[in-house]
């Protein structure tokens, strides 16, 4: 079964059925193709249909907080833990991870390529007034970007409309804008690898520990919203965390490389994830010269 994309408004009108759940999630999980890969497998095993509302993490959290989703799957751990602490979610489970990368024009006018410090790279962009496209949508990626500007001691909003451009859009649309402008942007690696309109953009900065990108999954609290389909929602959470679900995440690959790394040990994370893809290209790199996630091991090894 393919992903059924929904708007936030249509999610409100969707009836609660025993064999149907709504998942509020991020554009990165949809743009990367992960849900299109996972959901038919889960539905075939469970009979549960999953509808995905793919929005920025901030909006996904608001939907779940309002009871307009049964399961939340996003990538901003502090916000996820606050969601649970405030009583809106049952429990946060670490599901998978990859990382963020800084991409930009291959000519790299800011000379950031190869920098190990992502904040230092952002400072160079600001100092030179080099065009940067922000998600600008309160997504997990946008929140990560804001933390990097803060670490760099930069307030980019002061340059809004000049070198700092706020797309107010998902990851794919933001990458399209950056490609058209030949500008820099921050993206999750999975969306970057699957993105087909790179133009002259290249991956320039990766590997900083601050670029680690963990995803969590949470059942919305049925005690807060009694219409939540807790039975089917928990079944989905349990499947994702099971060896079968973790193996499916590990097997979701592009050009011989995993796009996400499952968090559960059980022999399915880390190098096992890479092995699930089969051999990469001849050079061990993808067609875009990327070397793969900087965190291919278990979360405790990053």
What pLDDT sits at residue 278? Answer: 47
Query: Using 50, 70 and 90 to split pLDDT, how confident is the model at 290?
Result: low
Instruction: Compute the C-alpha angle 17/21/25, nearest 5°.
Output: 160
CB atoms within 10 A of CB 214: 20
Q: How confident is the model at residue 102 (pLDDT cuts 50, 70, 90)?
A: very high
What are the tens digits of pLDDT across the range 4-57? 444 444 444 444 446 999 999 998 898 899 999 999 999 999 999 999 999 999
Average pLDDT for residues 90-112, to the nearest whole number?
98
* Residue 285 clears pLDDT 90, i.e. is over it: no
Q: Could you tell me the CA-to-CA distances from 102 to 32, 114, 155, 232 in Å, in that order?
A: 17, 10, 18, 38
* pLDDT at site 18: 62
pLDDT at 294 over 90: no
Reported confidence tier of residue 281, pLDDT bands at 50, 70, 90: very low
Decide if 95 contacts 218 (C-beta within 8 A): no
Residue recorded with tokens 């996630």: 293
- Supply the mean pLDDT for the chain: 86
- The domains located in the chain, with CATH, are 4-97+214-301 (3.40.190.10), 99-211 (3.40.190.10)
Burial class (CB in 10 A: 0-12, 13-18, 19+), 257: buried
Beta-carbon contacts of residue 41 (< 8 Å; ≥ 6 apart): 248
Q: Could you read off the pLDDT of 134-191 as tens digits, one per residue?
A: 999 989 999 999 999 999 999 999 999 999 999 999 899 999 999 999 999 999 999 9
Give the model's pLDDT for residue 70: 98
Give residue-wise pLDDT tens across range 239-280. 999 999 999 999 999 999 999 999 985 443 444 444 466 443
The full length of the chain comes to 302
Tell me what pLDDT residue 233 has: 98
Dihedral (CA of 68, 70, 76, 80) sign:
positive
Handedness of CA 54, 70, 234, 43 (dihedral sign): negative
**What residues pair up with 25 in beta bridges, in sequence order?**
54, 73
| The overall pTM is greater than 0.85 | no
225 burial via Cβ count (<10 Å: 0-12, 13-18, 19+) = middle
Indicate whether 131 pLDDT > 80.
Answer: yes
| Residue 287: per-residue pLDDT | 38
């Amino acid at each position: 079964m393919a992903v059924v994309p929904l708007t936030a408004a249509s999610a409100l009108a969707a009836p609660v059925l025993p064999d149907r759940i709504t998942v509020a999630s991020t554009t990165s999980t949809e743009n990367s193709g992960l849900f299109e890969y996972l959901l038919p497998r889960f539905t075939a095993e469970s009979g549960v249909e999953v509808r995905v509302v793919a929005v920025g993490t901030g909006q996904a959290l608001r939907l779940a907080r309002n009871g307009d989703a049964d399961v939340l799957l996003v990538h901003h751990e502090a916000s996820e833990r606050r969601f649970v602490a405030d009583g809106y979610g049952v429990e946060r489970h670490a599901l998978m991870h990859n990382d963020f990368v800084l991409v930009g024009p291959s000519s790299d006018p800011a000379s950031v390529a190869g920098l190990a410090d992502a904040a230092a790279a952002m400072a160079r962009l600001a100092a030179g007034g080099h065009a940067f496209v922000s998600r600008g949508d309160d997504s997990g990626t946008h929140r990560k970007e804001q933390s990097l500007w803060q670490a760099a001691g930069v307030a980019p909003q002061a340059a809004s409309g000049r070198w700092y451009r706020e797309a107010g859009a998902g990851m794919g649309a933001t990458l399209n804008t950056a490609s058209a402008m030949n500008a820099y942007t921050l993206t999750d690696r999975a969306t970057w690898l699957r993105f087909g309109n790179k133009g002259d953009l290249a991956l320039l900065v990766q590997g900083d520990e601050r670029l680690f990108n963990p995803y969590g999954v949470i059942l919305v609290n049925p005690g807060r919203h009694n219409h939540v389909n807790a039975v089917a929602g928990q079944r989905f959470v349990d499947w994702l965390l099971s060896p079968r679900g973790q193996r499916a995440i590990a097997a979701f690959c592009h050009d011989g490389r995993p796009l996400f790394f499952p968090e559960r040990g059980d022999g399915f994370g880390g190098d096992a994830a890479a092995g699930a893809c089969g051999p990469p290209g001849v050079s061990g790199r993808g067609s875009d010269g990327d070397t793969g996630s900087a965190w291919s091991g278990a979360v405790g090894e990053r």
